[in-house]
């Protein structure tokens, strides 16, 4: 089954404790992206990747890091989480970055930073 998976689905952590949210897709997609969703603000792009070893900042990259060493994986790293990073995070992928390719979203990771 074609899908985007994220782990963990739920995470409660404390300020300053490094964490990684994994994202994996099995569709051989080139483009992957991370979003955060907050009430009243909608979805905002954190980082995106056009292909392996090619990443770029989205609208809200501060406090986050990403890497794309393999085509299927695109982990989101919070080196020193803070309470304002409490949010619902979505990973997404599409075949290509441009054009009208459908973007597939993962199920989401709900992160709480205390």
Partner 1 sequence: KNQVEQSPQSLIILEGKNCTLQCNYTVSPFSNLRWYKQDTGRGPVSLTIMTFSENTKSNGRYTATLDADTKQSSLHITASQLSDSASYICVVSLSGYALNFGKGTSLLVTP
Where on the chain is the footprint of partner 1 (CB under 8 A)?
A: 4, 31, 33, 40-45, 48, 50, 90, 92, 96-108
| Strand 10-13, strand 109-113: pairing | parallel
Report in angstroms how near the CB of residue 19 gets to partner 1 at its nearest. 20
Question: Which tokens belong to 113?
Answer: 């930073």
Report in angstroms how near the CB of residue 90 gets to partner 1 at its nearest. 5
Cβ-based nearer residue to partner 1, 16 or 107: 107
φ/ψ of 83, rounded to 5, equals -55, -30
Report in angstroms how near the CB of residue 37 gets to partner 1 at its nearest. 9
Report the candidate in 108, 64, 61, 76 with the shortest Cα–Cα distance to residue 89.
108
């Amino acid at each position: 089954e074609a899908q985007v998976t994220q782990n963990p689905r739920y995470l409660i952590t404390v300020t300053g404790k490094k964490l990684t949210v994994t994202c994996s897709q099995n569709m051989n997609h080139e483009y992957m992206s991370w979003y955060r969703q907050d009430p009243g603000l909608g979805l905002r792009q954190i980082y995106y990747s056009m292909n392996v070893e090619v990443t770029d900042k989205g609208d809200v990259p501060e406090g986050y890091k990403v890497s794309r060493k393999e085509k299927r994986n695109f982990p989101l790293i919070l080196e020193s989480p803070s309470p304002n990073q409490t949010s619902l995070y979505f990973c997404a992928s599409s075949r290509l970055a441009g054009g009208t390719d459908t973007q597939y979203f993962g199920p989401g990771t709900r992160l709480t930073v205390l």
